[in-house]
Structure 1
Amino acid sequence: MEQHTQTARAALIEASDLLDSLMPKLDALRTDVELKADDTPVTAADLLVQQKLETLLRARLPDLTFVGEEESAGWEAEPTGWVAVVDPIDGTENFASSLVEWGTAISIFHTGVHSASMITLPELRRRIITGDTLAYAQSRIAGFSSGMNQTLVDRIAQAPQARIYGAAVYNFFGVVTGRLASFTNPVGAYSWDVLAGLSLAREHNCEVFVDDEPYDGRYLEPGRRYRVEVHHRYDRHPRQGSLG
């Protein structure tokens, strides 16, 4: 494993352990909710997780540029050195409602090249980190984003089975592991919502599209929305056939 990937993976394992240790505090902060300017919720738990992760990652990755969803500054469109893109709690609406379908996403780049990513679902005790070996499920269920437009409505109507879970990290975990056949967000999401999931999907042989073009693993600029679509390729696993 390349040195930068080893360094980033070790930091992500520590981050996952940190999240597990924070769970009692996070559970107590679920109802401490405010609405942001875009009418989306943020809890005290979001802010705590981001602060703790930033402290940990800065200690492990020198001269880090930290791009977080909550209260970030100093974003760089063309990153140099280490860059961490973090969604502290993806699916905050679910989290604040005491649903378990939420998680944390972290993607780490070095000099503009992806090093390692993690998506973790702490209440479900599930995670994927770059370099993990997975056992793949098989599904015909299509996952969709909760933001609605006519394209999404039409795609849902065409799907043999459709689900809306309300958290990109949960959908990405599903499609990377084969529990979902696909995940589609035609409305658009920010880089902290999607970078980790897209990177892990590429690592596990999924078909990955950003803004209707094949995704090549590049760093995605923060502050703008990206349409994403991911298909699990069942035929790319040994002894596992396609659902056709």
Structure 2
Amino acid sequence: MKDLNALLAIAQEAADIGAKRMTTSAPGTVSAKSDRDFVTELDVRIQHEIRDHLARATPDIDFLGEEEGGGTIDETTEYVWVLDPIDGTSNFTHGIPLCATSLALVHRGEPVVGVIVAPFLNLRYHATKGGGAYCNDKPIHASETTDLSRAVVSIGDYATGPGAAEKNRRRFAVTQALAENVERVRMFGAASLDLAWVAEGRTDACVILSNKPWDTAAGVTISRESNASIKDGNGSAYSPSSLSIICSSRHIDDDLRILIQAK
């Protein structure tokens, strides 16, 4: 395996490009990708700048970004950078500070380096496989909550675009089940922060009923290294092909999964 610490340093430099642009540049033209799903000129600009930076620093590593058609991860690929230039674009365009640049390195389908920078919150998360998880260079650890009734649980965005009505029927059912069983339900609008905040212990769990690699790969690395439980919604081990993600304190993972699977 490559030197993950060296690649982490490159990833941090790259993510800082996105963070700086978000705090110094306007969104520019906002265009629709599909029904109620938007991209800004700045999303595309940041992606191009980060892609170019990574190509110079690591010309032998592939690249997958949300704003160039997206796609899936080929789990036989040796190494690939996976980027969301602005995770939480809707938040960003409305002046809501819950947005971040999320960058991961994936090795044969396994995220092994993750960097999430939320510039308006002054939060920087990073992790490498086997190297622990950190926020602003301080070690972080998932919560030790043991009771669902004392858990704060965030949920991913409701669906937009094709098939949204059908997808949202389950999301509404999951929201109701959580509302009736956990202490509080939250929706932050940025999957990277959902996962990072479980890793940090700010929240006790998150339920993401979709799995776009650019949204989740960095957060998967960080949450794993914080000792959080992270699984597919069906209880199997997480993989890039997982249809959904449940990330939580290890003490409530079974109870939470059973609750969600019933919906």
The alignment's TM-score, normalised by the length of structure 2, stands at 0.76
Q: CA deviation at 1:20?
A: 3.5
CA deviation profile, 1:128-155 (whole Å, cap 9, x unmatched) = 1114342458573111112142223322
Q: Which residue of structure 1 lines up, in the alignment, with residue 221 of structure 2? A: 199
* CA distance in structure 2 between the aligned counterparts of 1:58 and 1:157, rounded to whole angstroms: 48
Secondary structure at the counterpart of residue 34 of structure 2: coil
Distance in 2 between the 1:163 and 1:73 partners? 27
The alpha carbon displacement at 1:103 in A equals 0.8
Partner of 2:42: 45
Q: Are 2:228 and 1:229 aligned?
A: no
Report how many residues are paired. Answer: 226
Contact 2:15 2:50 in 1 (8 A): no
Q: Using a 3 Å threshold, how does the CA distance of structure 1 residues 202 and 32 change in structure 2: closer, same or farther?
A: same
Question: Aligned to 1:173, what secondary structure does the other structure show?
Answer: helix
CA–CA separation in structure 1 for the residues paired with 2:72 and 2:174: 31
Of residues 159, 168, 178, the one that matches 2:201 is 178
How large is the Cα RMSD of the aligned pairs? 2.6
Which residue of structure 2 lines up, in the alignment, with residue 134 of structure 1? 139
> 2:81 matched to which residue of 1?
84
2:94 alignment partner in structure 1: 97
CA change 1:213–1:136 in 2 (3 A) is: closer
1:205 to 1:76, Cα distance in 2 relative to 1, 3 A: closer
Give me the whole-angstrom Cα distance separating, in 2, the residues matched to 1:97 and 1:193: 19
- Check the 8 A contact 2:199/2:228 in 1, yes or no: yes
Matched residue type, 1:11: I
Task: Please tell me whether the aligned partners of residues 156 and 190 of structure 2 are also in contact (alpha carbons under 8 angstroms).
Answer: yes
Match of 2:255 in 1: none
The answer (yes or no) to whether the contact 1:210–1:229 under 8 Å persists in 2 is: yes
Please give the TM-score of this superposition, normalised by the length of structure 1.
0.82
Letter in 2 for 1:231: S
Q: Does 1:122 align with 2:119?
A: yes
Q: Is the 8 A contact 2:23 2:119 kept in 1?
A: no
The residue that corresponds to 1:213 in the other structure is: 235
Partner of residue 4, structure 2? 5
Partners of 2:140 and 2:78 in 1: how far apart?
Answer: 34
Distance apart, 1:173 and its partner CA: 1.9
Residue 22 (structure 2) aligns with: 23
C-alpha deviations, 1:49-77, integer Å up to 9, x for none? 11111111111222221111111478652
Q: How far 1:23 moved relative to its partner?
A: 3.3
Looking at structure 2, the residues matched to 232 and 32 of structure 1 have their Cα atoms a distance apart, in angstroms, of 40
Higher RCO structure (Cα 8 Å, ≥6 apart): 2
Partner deviation per Cα, 1:15-57 (whole Å, 9 max, x = no partner): 233234323443x12x521111243011111111111111111
Structure 1: give runs of 5+ residues left out of the alignment.
Answer: 236-244
CA shift at 1:210, angstroms? 1.5
Q: In 2 relative to 1, CA 78–214 (structure 1 residues): closer, same or farther, beyond 3 Å?
A: closer
Q: Which residue is equivalent to 2:154?
A: 143
SS in 1 for 2:75: coil
Q: What's the offset of the Cα at 1:6?
A: 1.6
Cα distance in 1 for partners of 2:221, 2:141 equals: 17
Confirm or deny: 8 A CA contact 1:8 1:115 kept in the other structure. no
User: What's the secondary structure of 1:86's corresponding residue?
Assistant: strand
